[in-house]
Amino acid sequence: MSKLSRLGHISLYAHDVRRLVSFYETALELAVVNHSDETACLAIDPQSRRHDLLILNNPHHVHLAFWVDTLDHFKEVWRRLTDHGILAHGPYVESEYARFSFLDPEGNHVEIIWGHRGETPPPHRRKISFRELEKFGVSQE
């Protein structure tokens, strides 16, 4: 059984970020929760503190993100990938979550994310060991 709990978000490439944002706001009533000229984060529920769709004008940052519920699941997915010879990058810690990433056979970037409840010591965005992640407490999910 999969250790993944849900799809985190999808990122899409856009030649015209504003045009694509407008489309998803109008067509699917997604709410913009963060934006710049080059990126926009949209959410189904803007109160959730998460984004469901990330629109970028950089084709090299297109990716899928999946969440896991526990640190054990996070480590299990890492172990499964590496046992199958898949090179995973990370893990990294960022404020309220830890993540690692890998490429699928077509070169698509895939992220695995675990939301922890621990306080991230500075620097807040950095590579971290699994042993160090044990200090971050239970997951947010």
Q: What is the CATH number of the domain that holds 31?
A: 3.30.720.120
Q: Indicate if 109 and 138 belong to the same structural domain.
A: yes
Q: Indicate if 53 and 71 belong to the same structural domain.
A: no
Q: Would strands 97-103 and 109-115 be described as parallel, antiparallel, or unpaired?
A: antiparallel
Confidence of residue 59 (pLDDT cuts 50, 70, 90): confident
Confidence of residue 139 (pLDDT cuts 50, 70, 90): very low
Predicted pLDDT at 141: 44
pLDDT over 60 at 66, yes or no: yes
Q: Indicate if 103 and 128 belong to the same structural domain.
A: yes
Strand order in the sheet with 39-43: 31-35, 39-43, 53-56, 4-13, 63-68, 109-115, 97-103, 88-94, 125-127
Q: Mean pLDDT throughout 75-90?
A: 94
Q: Indicate if 128 and 92 belong to the same structural domain.
A: yes
pLDDT over 50 at 100, yes or no: yes
Domain count, the chain: 2
Q: Indicate if 80 and 102 belong to the same structural domain.
A: yes
Predicted pLDDT at 60: 79
Q: Indicate if 29 and 91 belong to the same structural domain.
A: no
| Per-chain mean pLDDT for the chain | 86
Determine the Cα–Cα distance for residues 20 and 13; give it in Å rounded to an integer: 9
Q: Indicate if 53 and 67 belong to the same structural domain.
A: no
Confidence of residue 28 (pLDDT cuts 50, 70, 90): confident
Domain that holds residue 112: 62-141
% of the chain with per-residue pLDDT over 90: 50
Instruction: Name the more confident of 140 and 47.
Output: 47
Instruction: Among 40, 60, 80, identify where a domain stops.
Output: 60
Q: Indicate if 82 and 47 belong to the same structural domain.
A: no
To the question of pTM greater than 0.85 for the whole model, the response is no
Q: Would strands 63-68 and 109-115 be described as parallel, antiparallel, or unpaired?
A: parallel
Q: Indicate if 140 and 97 belong to the same structural domain.
A: yes
Q: Indicate if 46 and 103 belong to the same structural domain.
A: no
